[in-house]
Structures are given as structure tokens and as C-alpha cells.
Amino acid sequence: MLKTATAKIDPTYFYIRWAFEKQFGIIDVSLPPRQPSKSNGATQSLREQSESLCDYLWDNYIELQNAEHILLVGVEEGVSGLIHMLQARRCEKRVKALVGFICAANMQSILYGGIKDQALAEWYFNSSLLFVGSDHLFWENNKSRRRKYGNCKLTAGDVISTVMLNSQKDATDFMMNKVTDEASDTNTDTNHHNNGDGDANNKNSV
């Protein structure tokens, strides 16, 4: 989980506990606190820190593991780093879902430059779920609700901790469904493959 250190009550505890109970390995990282300044320079700096940190985590920790069901969770500008990592490392085959929580971060900054590769853009749309606070400017402009942002869900809350707490069930259900759907597809393919081998062996025996 990649987050900015802003909330006085850290709601990531509930998600970490859920992941622990489901026996997932966990990497929990905090970015520097968000500053009150909304200048482009401050936003760019935080986004760049997020991106470089995600690349480092993938190269030195995540990629070295055997995990094939990776779930990415980002908070505010942390989402930008995860999206950048997906593009820079093309790791979507091992990532099953990306969940993000956004309350104050600029949506255009989150998906800075967009996703250029069409196949990855399609994967992102089908595998992401962003919980966006109800007071966010994103909801005031219908034209900004574009497919490129992924699946965005209106979530009650005017601070990030409230958005995350109000999204617990939907977020964890979404991630778990992505993992179980993948496991089900794998088992189905394996069964079909085994049945095919069995038929061939029977024919050879006959």
C-alpha cells in the first residue's frame, strides 16, 4: 500500500489487517505528508517521488517474489506512482487489481500523460477501482469523467480517512473477486487441459 501521510487516524490499518487475515504478503509505504500548497511544483514533486519509489519497490522487492496475485493499493498521489509503475515495468500480468482512494489529489495529476498502450489502458479500465470523495471537483465536471481514469466510484467523505473507511467492504470485495476470478479461470484451463490429455490417451489405448 502506497499512501501519503496525512490522516490523523490511519485507516490503512483496516486494510492491512484484512490482507493479513487473507494471508497476503504486505508492503506498506508512506510518502512525505501532503503540503497545503496546491502549486503545480508541489504536486509534481510529490508525484515524481511516488513514481520513483514505486519503480524501486518493484525492482528490489516485488519482482523478486514468486507472487502471481499482486494487489496494488494507493492513496492520493500514491495512485500515480502505481500507474506509472504499471507502464514502466509492464507488470500487469502479475497484478490482479489496482484500488485507489482520492480526496484531495488532482485527478489529471494522478494519470499524468495518460496510458499510451491500448492493451494496458484496457487492462487498467477493467482492473482498477478508484474511490473518489464526494466533495472532489471530479464530480462537478461531467466531461472529466472519462474512461481513462478507470472505474471511479462516488464515495461519501470530505477527508481521505473517511473515504477509505467508507470504502472498506467495496474495496476488499473488489480485490478478492479479482483474485478468485483469476484462480477460477486457471483451474478451468487446467481441467480442460487434463481432460484433453485423458481423451487423447484413451484414443491411443483404443
Strand partners, 71: 97
Q: Where is pLDDT greater, at 121 or 113?
A: 121
Evaluate whether residue 150 is within a structural domain.
Answer: yes
Domain that holds residue 80: 47-184
Evaluate whether residue 86 is within a structural domain.
Answer: yes
Q: Where is pLDDT greater, at 169 or 137?
A: 169
Evaluate whether residue 19 is within a structural domain.
Answer: no
Evaluate whether residue 132 is within a structural domain.
Answer: yes
Q: Where is pLDDT greater, at 184 or 59?
A: 59
Sign of the CA dihedral running 76, 80, 81, 86:
positive
148 φ/ψ sector (left φ>0, alpha ψ -120 to 50, else beta)? alpha
Evaluate whether residue 53 is within a structural domain.
Answer: yes
Mean pLDDT taken over the chain = 83
Give the helix, strand, coil percentages of the chain, each rounded to 5. 55, 15, 30
pLDDT class for 145, splitting at 50, 70, 90?
low
pLDDT of 195 over the 60 cut: no
Evaluate whether residue 66 is within a structural domain.
Answer: yes
pLDDT at 2: 73
* Separation between Cα atoms, residue 40 and residue 106, nearest integer Å: 10
pLDDT at 83: 95
Maximum average pLDDT range among 6-15, 37-46, 80-89? 80-89
Evaluate whether residue 14 is within a structural domain.
Answer: no
Nearest to 157 by CA among 192, 131, 183: 131
pLDDT of 6 over the 60 cut: no
Among all chains, which residue has been given the C-alpha cell 484500488?
A: 99
pLDDT class for 58, splitting at 50, 70, 90?
very high
Evaluate whether residue 177 is within a structural domain.
Answer: yes
For 186, the enclosing helix (H) or strand (E) is helix 168-205
pLDDT at 170: 98
pLDDT of 117 over the 60 cut: yes
Output b/e per residue, 142-156; b: 16+ Cβ within 10 A.
Answer: eeeeeeebbebeebe
Q: How many domains are contained in the chain?
A: 1
